[in-house]
A and B are shown apart, each in its own frame.
Chain A
Amino acid sequence: MHIVTKILVVFAAVLSLLLAALTMAYASNADAIKSSYSASENARVAAQLSASMSEQNSAERHAKDQAALKSLQNDLAAKDSENASLRAENSRLTSEVEVARAAEATASNQQKSIIATIDTQTNLLKKYAEEVAELRNQLLEGSKKEIELVDRINDLEAAREVLEQNLRAVKEQLEETKLSLQQAQSGGTATAGAPTIARELAGPVVRARVSEVMSTPAGDMVVISEGANRGIRESTKMHIVRGTQYIGSIEISTVEPTQSVGKVTFISGDSRVQKDDTVLSRLQ
C-alpha cells in the first residue's frame, strides 16, 4: 500500500471520527432546539389565546369603561350644573346672611334702646307707684274725714228732723187748739169717740213716692216712701200726682218711721194709682 494511501486512510479515519462527533452534536442540538421550538410554539399559541381572551376582556372592559365614562361625564355635567346652582344659592345665602346681620345689628340697637326705655319706664312706674300709694293714703285719710263729716252731717240732719218734728207737733197742737177754740166759740161741744177728720199736714210740703199699690176688698191701699220721720200721722190726707196731672187722694191709715200705708179715698176720672207716682202733703 502506498504511503499516500496510508496517510489518506488515517486522514479519512480522523475525519470520520470528527464528522461523527460533529454530527452527533448537531443532531442533539437540533433535537433540543426543535423541542424548544415546539414548546415555544405551544406557549405562543397559548399566549395568543390568552391574548385574544384578554383582548376580548379588555374590549368588554373598555365598553364598560366607556359606558361608565359616559355616565360619569353625565354625572359630572349634572354635578357641574348643581355646583353652579349651589354657588348661586351660596351667593344668595351669603347676601341674606349679610342682610340678616344688618337686621341683627339693627335689632340689637333697638333692643338696647328698648331696654333703656324699659329702665326709664320702670323708674317712672316706681315713682308713679309711690305717688299712687301716697295719693291712696291721702284719699284714705280724706275718705275717713269725709265719713266723719257725713256722720256729723247725719247727726245734725237727725237733730234737725227731730227739731222739725217737734216744730210740726207744736204747730199741730196749735192748730188743734185753734180748732177747739173755734168750736168752743161757736158753742158746740166736741163729741168724744167721733170719727177723726182727715186733714192735710201743716208746714212745708212733704214729698214721697208710691212704692206699692195693693187692691183690697175695702179699696185700693197705697204704700208710700215716707213715714213718721217726716211728720206723717194717721188720718193725714195726701194727694197723688203724676207730673202735673192730679190722680187722686189718700188717707193715711198706718204710719211707720220710714213708710206709711194709706187708703185711696178719691180717684180723678178713670185714673189709676201706679207705682212711683208722686205723693204730696199739699197741692201747690
Chain B
Amino acid sequence: MSDQPASPPASAPPDSWADLRRLTNARIGLKRSGASLATGPLLDFQLAHARARDAVHAALDEAKLAGDLRLLGDVLTVSSLVEDRPTYLMRPDLGRMLSPLSEAALQERAGTFDVAFAVIDGLSPRAVETHAAPVLAQVLPALRAENWRVAPLVLLQLGRVAAGDAVATLLRAPCVVVLIGERPGLSAPDSMGAYLTWQPGPATTDAERNCISNIRPDGIGYADAAAKIAHLLRAMRDRKLSGVRLKDDSERPAALTLSRSPNC
C-alpha cells in the first residue's frame, strides 16, 4: 500500500489526478470519504510517520561515514557535550558545545586555512551518512583548484549547527560549512542541510548564516548543492560577510530568516 499512489477522489475518473501527481511529491488528489481521508491514504501517512520517527532515533554509523570522508581528506572525529540521543533532542545548548577533549584535539590542528567543513549527524544521521561524502567530493576539488586551503574535515556526533562555529574558531578558519542531517519529514527522512557562516563566533546569530536545505537526490541534487556552496563561499570571501546581508540578484540560497531552523 505504501508505495502506491493514493487513489483519486471517489467521483473523479480513475486517472484524473495521475498526471498532476507526477508534478509533485505532495499528497494531492487523495481519496476522500465525505470530508475525511479514506483508509488507504490514512495508513500511507501513518507508515511514513513511523519511518520518520524511526530515523530520528537511529544512531550514526560513525565508522562508515569516517571511512567515506577519509577518501576526500584528513578527518578529525570529535564530540559535543551530549551523551545520548534523548538528551540531544531536549538540550540543544549542549549540542552546540564541544567536549574539552575535542576542543584540545581541534586546537592542535589549527593552521592557516580558508575554510573548514563540519559534518554533523543532526536530526537525521542517515542523511549525512548518504549525502555528505558525495557533496564534498564535488565541492572540495573545485575549491582546491582555486587554491582554497581546506582544514581537516571534522565529523561531529550529537551536534547542532552552532557547534561548527567553535570548530572554525579552534582550527582558525575564517568561515565554516556545516553539513547536517535535517529533521526528517514524511517524504524525506534523509534530507541534508548546509549552513555557511563567515567569521563565526559565540555572538553569531542565525541571520548571519546562509542555508541550503533539502540536499538529497530528489531535492537539491549533489552537483547543484556543491555549486551553490562554492558560489556562496566565494561571495562570502569577496564581501567578508554572510547571512541576510549576503544577497544579490543572482540565484542565492536563503539566509535563515525563520524560527524554522531546528538544527541551530
Whether chains A and B associate is no
Residues of A within 8 A of B (CB): none
